[in-house]
Amino acid sequence: MAEEYAIECTSLTRRFGTFTAVNSLSLKVKKGELFGFLGPNGAGKTTTINMLTTLLSPSGGSARVASFDLVQQAALVRARIGVVPQQFALFEELTPMENLWYIGELYGMQSSEVKKRTEELLKIVTLYDKKDIQAGTFSGGMKQRLSVAASLVHSPQILFMDEPTTGLDPQSRIALRELTSSLNKTGMTVIYTTHDMDEADKLCQRIAIMDHGKLIALGTPKELKSANGHSSLEEVFISLTKKQLRD
pLDDT digits (tens, 9 = 90+) for 58-115: 999 999 999 999 999 999 999 999 999 988 899 999 999 999 999 999 999 999 999 9
Question: Could you give the dihedral angle defined by the CA atoms of residues 103, 104, 106 and 109, in that order, rounded to the nearest 10 degrees?
Answer: 180
Are 170 and 223 in a shared domain?
yes
Distances in Å between the Cα of 38 and the Cα atoms of 62, 81, 161, 168, 234 are: 21, 20, 12, 19, 11
| Residue 231 belongs to domain with CATH number | 3.40.50.300
Are 76 and 99 in a shared domain?
no
Residue 86 inside a domain? The answer is: no
Are 72 and 162 in a shared domain?
yes
For 151, the domain range is 91-155
Residue 216 inside a domain? The answer is: yes
Q: How many domains does the chain have?
A: 2
- The answer to whether the CB of 202 falls within 8 A of the CB of 232 is no
In this prediction, residue 50 has a pLDDT band, given cuts at 50, 70 and 90, of very high
| Domain end marker among 131, 155, 179 | 155
Could you tell me the pTM of the whole model? 0.93
pLDDT at 216 over 80: yes
Q: d(Cα 195, Cα 209) in Å, to the nearest integer?
A: 11
Q: d(Cα 235, Cα 219) in Å, to the nearest integer?
A: 15
Query: What are the pLDDT digits (tens) for 15-28?
Result: 999 999 999 999 99
| Domain end marker among 155, 178, 195 | 155
Are 127 and 11 in a shared domain?
no
Are 66 and 178 in a shared domain?
yes
Residue 85 inside a domain? The answer is: no
Are 96 and 115 in a shared domain?
yes
